[in-house]
Amino acid sequence: MSLTYNSWLTETAALCGTTTTSPNFVIEVPNAIDYAELRLFRDLDLITTITTDATQTTPINGRNITVPSAFVVVNSINVITPSGVPPDTGKRNQLVKVSKDYLDYAWPDASVVGVPTLYAIVNQNSYVIGMWSDQAYAIEYTGTQRPTPLSNSNQTTFLSINLPDIFLAATMIHFSGFQKKFGAQADDPRMAVSWESQYKELLTGCDAEELRKRYTGTALFPPPGASKQPTVPAAARQ
C-alpha cells in the first residue's frame, strides 16, 4: 500500500473521526506531516536523504568555506583538481576532518597555500580548510538533506511510497495528541499510546531493511592489492 497526499489525507481524517475539510484538521495537517517526516528522518538513517552538491568553490588565498544551508549533516568533502573543472572531469581529493585548533596552528595565515587536505567544523554551515587554498577549486559535499515534504503540490514522497504504514502511524501520533473534539476516538486516552506502540514496532523492521541496503555484501576490509598506507596525513595524526 502506497500513499499519495490525497489518500493519506482521507485516511487520517477517517482515523481521526473527522472530515478532510474540517477547519481544525486542515490547519494541523502541515504540522502532522512535519512531525512525522522529521521524526522518521531522525530515527532512520535513510539512504534516500543523501545528496551531493558541487556548486561551491574554495576561496583563493583563503580558508573559509560555506556549506550549503540545505545540508543537515555533511558526510564527506572532496576538493576537485585541477581548478575550474567539475568533479567527474577532475580528480577528487577527499578532505580529512581535524580540529580547528590544529588548522589554526599548522596554517595560521596565507603564507603557505596549495590544495587543501584537511577541514574543521566551525559551526553548522561554516568550515575552515587547510592548507589555505591557492585557487578556486570545486568543492563536492556529500551528506544528508531533507527531501521536499508531502503536500498537495507534492503528492508522493519516498516515505509515502516506500514506508506508508509507519508514516501513517507517525502522523497519527501527532493527530492523537492534538485532537480535542473531532470525534469519539478523540476521547480515548489510549489512542496516542496505541499509535506510539505501533510506530515503534514498525520502526524495527524499517531500520533493519535500511541497514541491509547499506551493509549487505559490503566489503569490510580493503580488497587485495589496496594501499595499506594511512588515509590521514601524518601531520593530522600527531
Whether residue 226 lies inside any domain: the answer is no
Q: What is the pLDDT of residue 81?
A: 97
pLDDT band at 186 (very low <50, low <70, confident <90, very high): very low
Residue 180: band (very low, low, confident or very high) from pLDDT cuts 50, 70, 90: low
pTM, 2 dp: 0.78
CA distances, 69 to each of 56, 146, 219 (Å): 12, 11, 33
Q: How many domains does the chain have?
A: 2
Does residue 11 share a domain with residue 123?
no
**CA atoms within 13 A of residue 174's CA, in its CB half-sphere:** 22
Domain extent, residue 135, equals: 50-145
In a domain, 183, yes or no: yes
Residue finishing a domain among 145, 167, 189: 145
Residue finishing a domain among 130, 145, 160: 145
- Which tens digits make up the pLDDT trace of 51-105? 999 999 999 999 999 999 999 999 999 999 999 999 999 999 999 999 999 999 9
Q: Assess if residue 232 is contained within a domain.
A: no
Q: Can you point out the beta strands (E) in the chain?
A: 50-57, 62-66, 71-81, 91-94, 96-97, 113-114, 118-121, 126-133, 138-145
Whether 127 and 11 map to the same domain: the answer is no
Domain assignment present for residue 233? The answer is no
Q: Tell which of 84, 119, 145 closes a domain.
A: 145
Cβ contacts of 48 within 8 Å, gap of 6 or more: 147, 158
Residues 122 and 81 in one domain: yes
